[in-house]
Amino acid sequence: MTAPTKPPYGDAADSASERAPGEPLHSPVIDWFDEHARDLPWRRPEAGAWGVMVSEFMLQQTPVNRVLPVYEQWLARWPRPADLAAEAPGEAVRAWGRLGYPRRALRLHGAAVAITERHGGDVPADHAQLLALPGIGEYTAAAVASFAYGQRHAVLDTNVRRVFARAVTGTQYPPNATTAAERRLARALLPEDATTAARWAAASMELGALVCTAKNESCHRCPIAAHCAWRLAGKPAHDGPPRRAQTYAGTDRQVRGRLLAVLREAHGPVPQTALDRVWHEPVQRARALDGLVADGLVEPLPGGLYRLPLT
Inter-CA distances, 148 with 43, 44, 123, 289, Å: 9, 10, 10, 37
Distance (Å, whole) CA 225 – CA 229:
9
What is the 3-class SS of 95-157, one letter each residue?
HHCCCCCCHHHHHHHHHHHHHHHHHCCCCCCCHHHHHCCCCCCHHHHHHHHHHHHCCCCCCCC
CA angle in degrees (0–180, nearest 5) for 278-280-281: 120
Question: Is-contact 298 307, C-beta < 8 A?
Answer: yes
Strand order in the sheet with 270-271: 270-271, 305-307, 299-301
Task: For residue 244, count other CB atoms closer than 10 A to its CB.
Answer: 7
Please answer whether residues 292 and 300 qualify as being in contact, where contact means their C-beta atoms are separated by less than 8 angstroms.
no
Q: Which of 56, 91, 217, 299 is catalytic?
A: 56
Which H/E stretch holds residue 307?
A: strand 305-307
- Cα–Cα dist 165/171, whole Å: 5
**Could you tell me the CA-to-CA distances from 220 to 216, 223, 224, 228, 231 in Å, in that order?**
11, 8, 10, 12, 11
Establish whether 182 is a catalytic residue.
no
- Catalytic amino acids? 56
